[in-house]
Structure 1
Amino acid sequence: MKLVFFVGTAGTGKSYLSQRLSETFSWAYLDMDTIGTPFVNKMLEMNGQDPDDRDSAFYKQHLRNLPYQALMDVAMENIKAHQDVALIGPFTRELATPTWIEEILKANGFTLSDVDVKVIIVEVQNADVEKDRIRERGYDRDQWKLKHWDTYKSEKKTYNVTWNIPNASILRFDNSGELTNQKLQQLINFINR
Structure 2
Amino acid sequence: MVCKLTPSAPRLILFAGHAGTGKSTLAKKALPLIIERTGEDFFFLDKDTVYGAFSAHVMELTTQNPNDRDSPFYLENLRDWEYRGLIDIARENLLLGVNVILVGPFSREIQSGNMFNPEALGVPAQTKISIAWIDLQEQEAKTRMEKRHDLRDEWKLAHWNEYVKRRIEPPQHPLIQRFDNLNFDQANFEKLLNDLIK
Identity %: 32
Residues 142-157 of structure 1 correspond to what in structure 2 (within 5 A)?
Answer: 142-157=153-168
Please tell me whether residue 189 in structure 1 is matched to residue 194 in structure 2. Answer: yes
Corresponding residue number in structure 2 for 1:164: none
| Runs of 5+ unmatched residues, structure 1 | 162-166
Please tell me whether residue 18 in structure 1 is matched to residue 18 in structure 2. Answer: no
After superposition, the Cα gap between the structure-2 partners of 1:159 and 1:34, relative to the gap in structure 1 and judged at 3 Å, is same
Say which SS state the counterpart of residue 105 (structure 2) adopts. Answer: coil
Shift of 1:21: 0.4
TM-score computed with the length of structure 1 as normaliser: 0.84
Shift of 1:142: 0.2
TM-score computed with the length of structure 2 as normaliser: 0.82
| Runs of 5+ unmatched residues, structure 2 | 1-9, 36-41
After superposition, the Cα gap between the structure-2 partners of 1:170 and 1:48, relative to the gap in structure 1 and judged at 3 Å, is closer
Residues 34-183 of structure 1 correspond to what in structure 2 (within 5 A)?
Answer: 34-99=49-114, 101-106=117-122, 108=123, 110-111=124-125, 114-124=126-136, 126-160=137-171, 167-180=173-186, 182-183=187-188
1:2-31 per-residue CA deviation (whole Å, 9 max, x = no partner) reads 101111101111111111101212321111
Shift of 1:48: 3.1
Say which SS state the counterpart of residue 129 (structure 2) adopts. Answer: strand
CA RMSD of aligned residues (A): 1.9
After superposition, the Cα gap between the structure-2 partners of 1:179 and 1:19, relative to the gap in structure 1 and judged at 3 Å, is farther
Residues 7 and 88 of structure 1 are in contact (CA less than 8 Å); yes or no, is this contact kept in structure 2?
yes
Shift of 1:104: 4.7
Residues 36 and 66 of structure 1 are in contact (CA less than 8 Å); yes or no, is this contact kept in structure 2?
no
Q: How far, CA to CA, are the matches of 1:46 and 1:21 in structure 2?
A: 37
